Amino acid sequence: MSNFQYRGENLTCENLEIDSITRDLETPFYCYSSKKIRENINKYKNNLKNSNSKICFALKANSNLELIKLIAQQGLGADVVSMGEFRKALKAGISGKDIVFSGVGKTEKEIEFAIKNHCFQINAESLSEIKKINGIAQNLNIKQNIGIRINPDVKPDTHSKITTGSIENKFGIPISEVKNLFNQSNLFENLNFNGLAFHIGSQIMKLEPFEEACKITNQLVKEIENNDFKIKTIDVGGGIGIDDDEEFQFENYFNLIDLYFAKKDRMIIFEPGRTIIGNTALLISKILYIKETEDKIFVVIDAGMNDFMRPALYGAVHDILPILKSSSIEKKTIEIVGPICETSDKFLTSDNFQNVNEGDFIAISNAGAYGSSMSSNYNIRPNIAEVLVNDNKFSIIRKRQSLEDLINQ
């Protein structure tokens, strides 16, 4: 959060007081720091041990076109899971040769689009999908690279709804079936079996689950290569979490990847999402009402779960900061809630929040990932604006959706 700091009583983004944005723009809105995005990308680049690596930003985390353009300008590729994300990546200036297409439910149209647009690698998640990709590639007379996404049966310490590498999850092919797939690879004449891919979950703060997945995958690589197959790519996915109170062991993580997979003629693919964009944004909201009960004070803000779903969906905890800081602390428990007709539309419960008033502004932290990309029009509420700060200026990178357009659809 180093690019979001108080200067005196004012919360700033880089060198711009956020309060000044609220004078020009209706709340709620997302506020991103361009400097922080570049810093996060450089953190990845500086930790890479293997020069033969490809960093593919996961568009599911944030699909704002201007942000993807900024990320593309830093030399990153894209990890996509739909034709929409693929097309957005292309529009942002990312070549198909720098795009990895993942996901369990790719349609024929999506596969055809990916192949026609020179997709670097399609990560396949079942034998049926492999057959489908081969058939489409055959019709197009193109040989397509694929990665085999494995399910290493690793259970990371994260929310159950965002674990993706356990055997009860829908993702990947069981380890026991993968060697046989490579043995049958000659049956798929229009496919290059490029390598292996895994992704064990999201918002993971501990190194141990990644190490377990690496050990399992490394053993599989050895067994496959002992049968005269060459593993040219290892896609290690994403999943690294962010937490203001806990620092992820980045250097140890990259040492781990290097230890298990580095090879002169092998490419390692990374698919970061949250670690690139998560801590680069605040969700700015206005306090509409203060409602005091016997036990607590409800602070009703104009941002709702339709704007930022993670707290309601996953119970995710995000710090909330007042735009104007005060030393006066409210004695009662404060519950900061949104206007949506759901009890789960709640952002924070605190016993030491400062005194606030109706009309004040607050900022929900670490809102850059899975915020706008998961937003909806629930309760017929327009999608909110997004702004990008560069030093002491801001630009609107997504306009607030018109209510007229929304109600006429």
User: The domain 4-33+278-407 belongs to what CATH superfamily?
Assistant: Lyase, Ornithine Decarboxylase; Chain A, domain 1 (2.40.37.10)
Q: What percent of the chain has pLDDT over 70?
A: 96
Q: How far is CA 17 from the centre of its chain?
A: 27
**pLDDT tens digits along 300-331:** 999 999 999 999 998 888 999 999 999 888 88
Q: How far apart are CA 400 and CA 24, in angstroms?
A: 13
User: Hey, do 4-33+278-407 and 34-277 end up sharing a CATH topology, with the first three levels equal?
Assistant: no
Residue 152: is its pLDDT beyond 80? no
Residue with tokens 């720091």: 33
Helical spans, DSSP H, in 120-273: 127-140, 175-183, 208-225, 250-261
Contact, 341 vs 378, CB < 8 A?
no
Measured CA distances, 375 to 25, 308, 384 (Å) = 19, 6, 9
DSSP H helix total and E strand total for the chain: 12, 21
What pLDDT is attached to residue 60?
A: 96
Q: How far apart are CA 394 and CA 15, in angstroms?
A: 10
What pLDDT is attached to residue 247?
A: 84
Structural tokens at position 63: 């699909």
What pLDDT is attached to residue 61?
A: 97
Give 404's contacts (C-beta < 8 A, 6+ positions apart).
none
163: confidence class by pLDDT, cuts 50, 70, 90: low
**pLDDT tens digits along 131-144:** 999 999 999 999 99
Asked if CATH classification 3.40.50.2000 holds for the domain at 34-277, the reply, yes or no, is: no
What pLDDT is attached to residue 283?
A: 98
Taking alpha carbons only, the member of 144, 154, 138, 151 closest to residue 117 is 144
**pLDDT tens digits along 9-47:** 999 999 999 999 999 999 999 999 999 999 999 999 998
Residue 52: is its pLDDT beyond 60? yes
Which residues are the active-site residues? 341
Q: Where are the domains of the chain?
A: 4-33+278-407, 34-277
Q: How far apart are CA 292 and CA 295, in angstroms?
A: 8
DSSP structural state of residue 355? P
